[in-house]
Amino acid sequence: MMSFREKVYEITKMIPRGKVATYGQIARLAGKPKASRAVGYFMKTNKLIPIVPCHRVVAADGSLTGYSAFEGIKTKKRMLIAEGVRFKNNKVDLATSYW
């Protein structure tokens, strides 16, 4: 039986290049719809980079939050842009980049 953390990481691995998911979306898909903060914590403590692409998980409004690698949010944004994620007003354009 997989732990909630393991489920979260397995789902996150499925997010394709050029797309993002939200913390809440991942929580729902993993079976705990109210656990978006736990998903955020799992992304923050992810030791399986780049196998688990935590940079592809964003806030519900498309904001970039909580990326701790390298230069933080700047790095997260650069990585997403390089993968083809579109931005609008400094947030991910969820209309085009939502998984």
The model's pLDDT over 12-55, given as tens digits with 9 standing for 90+, comes to: 999 999 999 999 999 999 999 999 999 999 999 999 988 999 99
Contact 67, 55 (CB under 8 A): yes
In the chain, the percentage of residues whose pLDDT exceeds 70 is 99
- Asked if pLDDT for residue 86 goes beyond 80, the answer is yes
Average pLDDT over residues 67-82: 88
pTM score, two decimals? 0.94
Residue 50 has phi, psi (to 5 degrees) of: -95, 10
Q: Residue 70's pLDDT is what?
A: 76
- Asked if pLDDT for residue 69 goes beyond 90, the answer is no
In the chain, the percentage of residues whose pLDDT exceeds 90 is 90
Clarify whether 2 is annotated catalytic: no
Which of 83, 13, 77, 42 is CA-nearest to residue 21? 13
Of the candidates 21, 30, 54, 92, the residue annotated as catalytic is 54
Q: Residue 54's pLDDT is what?
A: 95
Contact 54, 22 (CB under 8 A): no
